[in-house]
Amino acid sequence: MLSTEFKSVGDASWRKDGIAKVTGSEKYAPDVSVDRMWFGRVLRSPHAHARIKSVDTSAAEALGAVCLTFADVPQTRYNERIVSTPPCLYRDRTVVADKARHVGEALVGVAAPTEELAEKALRAIKIEYEVLQVITTMEQARKDGAEPIHDTVLLDGKDKPIVNNVAVQRTIDVGDVEKGFAEAEYVIERSFKTSRIYHAQMEPKSVVCRPEIDGGITVWASTQSIHNTRILLGQIYDIPLSKVNVKKVMLGGSFGSSIQMNSVTPICVGLALKAGHPVKIATTREEDMHDHVRYPSEIKLKLGMKKDGTLIAGEMHANIDVGAHNIQAFPFLGGLGGFWASLYKLPNMKYVGTAVYTNKTPSCAMQGFGAPQAHFAVECLMDEIAHELGADPIDFKLNQYVGLGGTFWGQGPASKCIIRSDGVPELLKTGAELIGWDKRPKPGSQTGRMRKGIGMARGFHTSGVGHAKASGAEMIDYSGAIVKLNEDGTVDLIQSLMDHGGGTNHAISKIVAEELGVPTHMVGLSPCDTRTSLYDVTTHATRGIYAGGAAALKAAKEVKAQIIDWAARVLDVLPESLVIEPDEDLGQGVIYCPNLAERRMTVGELARYLHLNSLGTISSSQSMRQVNCPPAYVSYFVEVEVDTDTGQIHTRRAALGSDCGTVVNPALASGQLIGGLSKGQGYALTEDNQWDPETGELVSKGFWVDGKTPSMSESPKVGDIDTHFAHTYEPTGPFGAKGLGEAAKNPAAAAFGNAVYNALGIRFYEIPITPEKVLAALAAEKSTKSRQAAPKAPAPVAE
Amino acid sequence: MYMNTNTRIIAPEFDFAQPKSLDEGFALMDEHGADARLIAGGTDLLVQMKMERISPAWVISLARIDELRAITAGKGLSLGAMASIKEVSVAAPVKAGYAALAEACNAYSTVSIMLMGTIGGNICNASPAADTAPALLAFDAVAVVKSARGSRRVAMADFFAGPGKSALKPGEILTAIELPEPAAGSGSAFLKISRVVADISQVCVGVSLVRDGDRITDCRIALGSVAPTPIRIAGAEAALGGQKGGDAVFDKAAEIAARDIKPISDARASESYRRHAARIIVRDALKTAWQRAAEGAAK
C-alpha cells in the first residue's frame, strides 16, 4: 500500500547509508583493518573426495607462518546455521576438515604477516591424500555400495547414521491423497529440474578476528546475524559469550549466502588465537564460488482435478542435492513443501522431500529458499493445465489460490497463520493491464525469426517464520531493539538486525520515527555489536521489516509512552490529551494538546528539560517474536523475444507487482522488484554452475568470467519495467507492512518459462532455458511436424 | 591443480618500470629480456600474473609513453597501441569510416574494461576471442612494430601465431595499428554472440565489403573464438567476390564460414553451437555491411 496517511513510513527520504555507499566511504568487512594484523589464507582440497593421510606444515612454519590443521581445532561437529533448534539441526562440520568432501573443502588455515607470505606458505604445505570415489549425482550417491560421504552426523547430541548418502527426508500428508486421485477426472504429471547457481553477491566473505587480553575475541565478519556468529564461536572455542564480541559491519550483499556463519570465520578465529595476533581472511572470488550455491532440485509433480480444473489431489516428490555438507536441508525441504501447499487449495496432498549428499560445493539458502523451485514447477504446470482446459491462466489461478482467510505455511509445517491481507486479485488485474495480457499472441502461432511471448506467474514469500506455539519450535525467530531519546530530541536506534542492502535498517528507522512523531532524519542508526545489542536471529525469510521492524516498533511505543508521560507533567495536561507530530519547519517532533493550543513543546525541549533536571534518559529495550508469518504476495508478467536463429531469449518488458502491505521505502521496494527480475532472469535463462562429473571440479574453476549473471545490459529498458503495489494493510505488521525481498524473485523462472511457451508453443521443464536448449527444442519440433505432415507435393527447389 | 589459484593475490614479487620514451623502453626490454613483460591496460596481464600463468621478474608499463596513445586520421587511420578501447570506440574517424571496429569496441560492454584495456594490448594478448581482432582483420589492418634495431610492419593476418602468441619478437613493441582508407562504397559490421552482453564471445565476426551497384567487388570476413587464432575465411570471401549481393550469396558464404572454422567445446559454448551461431552472425553481418555500403554510396 502506498500510503498518504503516514508521515515517515512511505516517504521518499534518502536512505541513511546512501551517501556513504555511493561515495565509497562505507566500511564493509573486507575494509576492516586493525593494529598488528596478520593475514590468513586457506588451503583447500583439490580433490572432491579424499581422506587426509598426513599434513606436513613444517615448510610453511619455516617461512614464519602459523598453521591451523584438524589437530588444532575442536573436533566436536557443529552446524554453521543455528536458526534451527537442536532436534532439527544436522551437524556434520568441523572448523577445518579431516576428510575432503568437495573440491575447495578447507583443510588448513595459514596466517602470516602479509597476505603474499601466507600465500607462499600455503603452497609449501604438503598433504598426502587417499583419493576416494567421487560422487557428483544424487543417483550415484543413493546406489548401494556408493562411497559414504558422511558415516554419521550429530543430531541433538546423538550420532545419526547416514544411509545411502541420504542427508534427510521429510514427508507431509494432508487429507487422503489416494482417494483424491481416485476421484480425479483429469491427472497431469510433469518432471521439473532447477539448477545449482552461485549467489553472486558483491562482497566475497571476509573476517577479522582480534584476540583480547582477557581471553576473549572481537570479530568483524560478513554475516546476516552477528548474534548467531557469536553464539557459535563461543560454543566452538568454549569462550563465554560475554567475552565474544561480534561487530555489526555493513554487509556487501548476500542473497542468503551468509545466513550461516561463513566457513572462514572460525578458521580466522582459530588462527588468531594460535598466532596471538589479529588475523584477517578476505576470501577470493574463486574460493567463494566453491563455498556456496543454491539448492538445485528435481521435482516430480502430479495434480489431479475435476473436469472443470478444480484441484483435488497433489503429489510432489522433490529431490535436492545438498552437496558435501547439510547446512539446512531439513528446513529447506519443509519450506519447499509448505510453499507448494500455500500456492493453491489442495484438499489432499502428499509430499516427499529427499536431500542427498554429493561431493560438490555445499548448497545453502538463497533468495527464496525452496520457493523458486516450488514456484517453477507449480506455476508452469498450472499454466499448462489452464491452456489444456482452454482457460485464461489468470482466472484459473484466481479461482484456486490460497488467499484471504486461508492458511499460509510460512516455510514448512511448523509456521502457519491465517491470511489477513491479500492483494492478489488487484496485482493480477493491474499487471495484466500494464503488460497487455489480452493482446498476447496465441502460443505457437508465430513463424518469423523473432517471436514475442508474454508469460505470467504469481506467488509469494513468507514474512518471517513466526508462529503461535510456546515451545517445540523448529526454528528460532525473534528480534530485539533498543530505542533511546537523546538530549536534543534525536533518537538512537540500536538493532543488531542486518541489512542485506535492501534498505531494511533505514525502513525500520522510519517505523520508529512514525511512532514517535519525529521526522525520519532525527532517528539515527547506531553502530552496534553483540555486547551492546539484543539478539536477532538473522535477516532471512523476508523477515527484516515485518519481524525486526515490529520489535523496534514495540520499543518505540514504550519510548513514546514515556515522552507523553513526562510532557503531560511539564505541560500540566492529561497524557491522554497529547499527540506528537513531526514539524518539518522546526525539524523536530512537536508534542501538543489539540484542545489547548498553547500547551506545546518540541521533543527536543522535553529532552533538554529531562537532562538539565537530572530526570533520566527515556529509553526502551524490547525483544519480540511475531506470532504470524503472512504471505508477501507477488505477481510477474514478462515479455520475452526469442531469436529462433540464435536461440537467445531477450527480456523486453516486465510488470512486477508486490503486496507487501504498507510500502515503507517506495523507491527501494521498487528496486527490490527490479533486482528480483534481474536475478530471476539469470536463474531462468543463463546461470548454471556445472560440475565435472568425473572429478567433481567446478567447470568454471571458480573464475567469475565464466560465472555469468545478467547485468543492466540484459534488463529491459528502464521505462519498460513497471512496478506496482497492492493497496493492502497487514494488521499484524508494523504500520501494516509485511515482507517483500525474496518474493521479488520467486515466480520469475516460471514467468519466463510461460512466456517462452507463449512465444514458441514449446514447454521447457528445466532451467536455465539456454540458447542450445531452445535450438534443440525447435529442431525437435520441426522434425516432429515434418514427420506428421505427409508430403503432398514435391519439396520446393531453391532458386 | 587449480583449486588454490585466484585472481586477487599476486604472490611472487616483481619489479616495475615506467619508461617515458620508446628508447627507454627498448633499453629496459633488452636488459631484462625474457624476464620482462610489457603491460598496457593490464586487464589480461594482471589476471595471468595472479593466476601464475606467468611470473615475470620485471613488468614494464607503456602508460607514460605519450606518443603511443594518439589516434590520427590521414589517408587511413592510425591507432596508437595504448589508445583505450573506450577512446577507439568514441573516436570520430572510427565511427565514421570503420563501423565494425567501433562496434567491436562497444561489445566489451564493461565500462572498467573499456577504460583500462587498450587496442594494442588486446592484439598483443593474442586471445582467439579478442573482440577487436576480427574487425582489424576485416579492415586489413597493419601492425607497426618497433625495437632498438628498427621498425617493421606486420599484416594483421600474420600477427596471430597461436593462443597467447603474437608475431612480436623479443625486444619489440607494438606502437600503432594502421587501417587503410576505406574504398568508396565500403560497408562493415561486427557481431558477437555471448552468454550475456558483458562476456567473452562464444563467436564473433567482423566483415568489410566494397559494393559497386549490386555487386560485391571486395570482401573480408574474419571470425573470433572459433580457432586457435582469430581467422579470416578465404573460402567465404571467395564465394562473394564479384557476385551480386543478396540473401542467397550471403547464406552461401555463411555456410562456408561455418564449415571452415575449427571451434572447440568449452565452458562458454559447445562446438556445434559455435558453428550454428557463426553461420547466423556471418550472414547477419554481411547483410548489415551490404546495407551500410549502399547508405554510404547514397551520401
Select from A589, A624, A659 the last residue of a domain: A624
C-alpha A106 chain-centroid distance: 24
CA atoms within 13 A on the CB side of B157: 9
Question: What would the mean pLDDT of A621-642 be, rounded to a whole number?
Answer: 98
Q: A697 near A691, Cβ under 8 Å?
A: yes
Q: A736 near A661, Cβ under 8 Å?
A: yes
Entry pTM:
0.96
Residue B141 grid coordinates: 589492418
- Phi, psi at A725, each rounded to 5°: -125, 140
CA distance B124 to B164: 8
What would the pLDDT profile of A52-103 be if each residue is shown by its tens digit? 999 999 999 999 999 999 999 999 999 999 999 999 999 999 999 999 999 9
Taking one residue from A and the other from B, the number of pairs with CB-CB distance under 8 angstroms is 78
Q: E strands of A324-376, at which residues? A: 348-357, 363-364
Residue A795 pLDDT: 44
Distances (CA, A) of B220 to A359, A540, B100, B283: 50, 56, 12, 13
Share of chain A above pLDDT 70, in %: 98
Distances (CA, A) of A143 to A138, A152, A164, A462: 9, 17, 7, 36
Residue A472 pLDDT: 87
Per-residue pLDDT for A448 more than 60? yes
Nearest Cβ partner of B267 from A103, A285, A699? A699
Share of chain B above pLDDT 90, in %: 93
Q: How many CB atoms lie within 10 A of CB A291?
A: 25
Q: A678 near A716, Cβ under 8 Å?
A: no
Residue A4 pLDDT: 60
- Would you place residue B4 in the very low, low, confident or very high pLDDT band (cuts 50, 70, 90)? confident
- Would you place residue A789 in the very low, low, confident or very high pLDDT band (cuts 50, 70, 90)? low
- Chain B residues closer than 8 Å to A264 by CB: none
What would the pLDDT profile of A726-768 be if each residue is shown by its tens digit? 999 999 999 999 999 999 999 999 999 999 999 999 999 999 9
Residue A262 domain-assigned? no
- Would you place residue A387 in the very low, low, confident or very high pLDDT band (cuts 50, 70, 90)? very high
Per-residue pLDDT for A796 more than 70? no
Q: Which run of H or E residues covers position A513?
A: helix A504-516
In terms of domains, do A747 and A777 share one?
A: yes
CB proximity under 8 Å: B 258-277 to A = 267-270, 273, 276-277
Q: A557 near A517, Cβ under 8 Å?
A: no
In terms of domains, do A776 and A728 share one?
A: yes
Q: Which sign, positive or negative, has the C-alpha torsion B239, B245, B250, B252?
A: negative
A612 by Cβ neighbours in 10 Å (0-12 / 13-18 / 19+) ranks as exposed
- Phi, psi at A136, each rounded to 5°: -115, -10
Select from A624, A652, A683 the last residue of a domain: A624
CATH number at residue A749: 3.30.365.10
Q: Is the peptide bond before A768 cis (omega within 30 degrees of 0)?
A: yes
Share of chain B above pLDDT 70, in %: 98
Answer whether B9 sits within 8 Å of A711, measured CB to CB.
no
A169 by Cβ neighbours in 10 Å (0-12 / 13-18 / 19+) ranks as middle
The owner of cell 609513453 is: B65
Q: A629 near A410, Cβ under 8 Å?
A: yes
Nearest Cβ partner of B195 from A46, A686, A702? A686
In terms of domains, do A654 and A774 share one?
A: yes
Answer whether B193 sits within 8 Å of A713, measured CB to CB.
no
Residue A799 pLDDT: 35
Residue A181 domain-assigned? no
Q: Which sign, positive or negative, has the C-alpha torsion A53, A287, A263, A281?
A: positive
Give the torsion through C-alpha atoms of B261, B266, B267, B273, to 10 deg: 40
- A707 bridge partner residues: none
Answer whether B273 sits within 8 Å of A771, measured CB to CB.
yes
Residue A652 domain-assigned? yes
In terms of domains, do A634 and A618 share one?
A: no
CA distance A642 to A649: 5
Residue B112 pLDDT: 93
User: Which one of B3, B273, B283 makes the best mutation probe of the A interface by having the most chain A beta carbons within 10 Å?
Assistant: B3
CA distance A746 to A457: 9
Residue A425 pLDDT: 98
Helix (H, G, I), strand (E, B) or coil at A639: strand
Answer whether A709 sits within 8 Å of B10, measured CB to CB.
no
In terms of domains, do A635 and A737 share one?
A: yes
Q: B113 touching A, CB under 8 A?
A: no
CA distance A50 to A697: 13
Q: B278 touching A, CB under 8 A?
A: no
In terms of domains, do A504 and A593 share one?
A: yes
CA distance A63 to B176: 46
Residue B159 grid coordinates: 600477427
Answer whether B11 sits within 8 Å of A284, measured CB to CB.
no
What would the pLDDT profile of A239-288 be if each residue is shown by its tens digit? 999 999 999 999 999 999 999 999 999 999 999 999 999 999 999 999 99
Residue A177 domain-assigned? no
In terms of domains, do A511 and A581 share one?
A: yes
Q: B283 near B251, Cβ under 8 Å?
A: yes
Per-residue pLDDT for A791 more than 70? no
Q: Which run of H or E residues covers position A300?
A: strand A297-305
CA distance A88 to A108: 29
What is the C-alpha radius of gyration for chain B, rounded to an integer number of angstroms? Answer: 19
CA distance A599 to A619: 24
CA distance A524 to A517: 14
Residue A787 pLDDT: 76
Per-residue pLDDT for A797 more than 80? no
Report the amino acid identity of residue B284: D
Answer whether A284 sits within 8 Å of B277, measured CB to CB.
no
Answer whether A711 sits within 8 Å of B11, measured CB to CB.
no
Q: B280 touching A, CB under 8 A?
A: yes
Closest CA to A341 of A403, A402, A300: A402
Per-residue pLDDT for B2 more than 70? no
Distances (CA, A) of A788 to A99, A527, A794: 56, 70, 16
In terms of domains, do A635 and A741 share one?
A: yes
The mean predicted confidence, pLDDT, of chain A is 96
Residue A561 grid coordinates: 509512552
Select from A624, A644, A661 the last residue of a domain: A624
Per-residue pLDDT for B298 more than 50? no
Share of chain A above pLDDT 90, in %: 94
Question: What would the mean pLDDT of A444-472 be, rounded to a whole number?
Answer: 96
Q: Which sign, positive or negative, has the C-alpha torsion A589, A737, A712, A251?
A: positive
User: Which one of A49, A772, A778 makes the best mutation probe of the B interface by having the most chain B beta carbons within 10 Å?
Assistant: A772
In terms of domains, do A456 and A485 share one?
A: no
Q: A764 near A640, Cβ under 8 Å?
A: no
Per-residue pLDDT for A793 more than 70? no
Closest CA to A209 of A173, A245, A259: A245
- Phi, psi at A77, each rounded to 5°: -75, 150
Answer whether B3 sits within 8 Å of A705, measured CB to CB.
no
DSSP state string for B56-125: -SEEEE-TT-GGGG-EEESSSEEEETT-BHHHHHH-HHHHHH-HHHHHHHHTT--HHHHHH-BHHHHHHT
The string over B96-118, giving b where at least 16 C-beta atoms fall within 10 Å of a residue's C-beta and e elsewhere, is ebbbbbbbbbbbbbbeebbebbb
Q: Which sign, positive or negative, has the C-alpha torsion B79, B80, B81, B85?
A: negative
Residue A212 domain-assigned? no
Nearest Cβ partner of B276 from A46, A120, A775? A775
Residue B297 pLDDT: 56
Closest CA to A688 of A707, A711, A714, A712: A707
- Would you place residue A794 in the very low, low, confident or very high pLDDT band (cuts 50, 70, 90)? very low
- Give the 3-state secondary structure of A240-263: CHHHEEEECCECCCCCCCCCCCCC
- Phi, psi at A281, each rounded to 5°: -120, 120
The pairs formed by A148-151 with CB atoms below 8 angstroms and a separation of 24 or more are A149/A49, A149/A101, A149/A324, A149/A357, A149/A358, A149/A359, A150/A92, A150/A101, A150/A357
Residue B299 pLDDT: 41
- The ipTM is 0.95
Domains and their CATH numbers in chain B: 15-60 (3.30.43.10), 69-179 (3.30.465.10), 186-294 (3.30.390.50)
Question: What would the mean pLDDT of B172-191 be, rounded to a whole number?
Answer: 97
In terms of domains, do A591 and A677 share one?
A: no
Answer whether A711 sits within 8 Å of B197, measured CB to CB.
yes
What would the pLDDT profile of B202-244 be if each residue is shown by its tens digit? 999 999 999 999 999 999 999 999 999 999 999 999 999 999 9
Residue B93 grid coordinates: 574517424
- Would you place residue A1 in the very low, low, confident or very high pLDDT band (cuts 50, 70, 90)? low
Per-residue pLDDT for A15 more than 50? yes
- Would you place residue A786 in the very low, low, confident or very high pLDDT band (cuts 50, 70, 90)? confident
In terms of domains, do A612 and A638 share one?
A: no
Nearest Cβ partner of A701 from B2, B10, B200? B2
In terms of domains, do A596 and A703 share one?
A: no
Residue A240 domain-assigned? no
Nearest Cβ partner of A713 from B1, B193, B198? B198
Residue A723 domain-assigned? yes
- Would you place residue B3 in the very low, low, confident or very high pLDDT band (cuts 50, 70, 90)? confident
Give chain A's domain count.
Answer: 2
Question: What would the mean pLDDT of A466-493 be, rounded to a whole number?
Answer: 95
What would the pLDDT profile of A393-410 be if each residue is shown by its tens digit? 999 999 999 999 999 999
Residue ranges making up the domain that contains A603: 18-25+478-624
What would the pLDDT profile of A573-623 be if each residue is shown by its tens digit? 999 999 999 998 998 999 999 999 899 999 999 999 999 999 999 999 999
Q: Which run of H or E residues covers position A330?
A: helix A329-343
User: Which one of A705, A773, A782 makes the best mutation probe of the B interface by having the most chain B beta carbons within 10 Å?
Assistant: A705
Residue A730 pLDDT: 98
Residue A66 domain-assigned? no
Q: E strands of A603-684, at which residues? A: 619-624, 631-643, 649-659
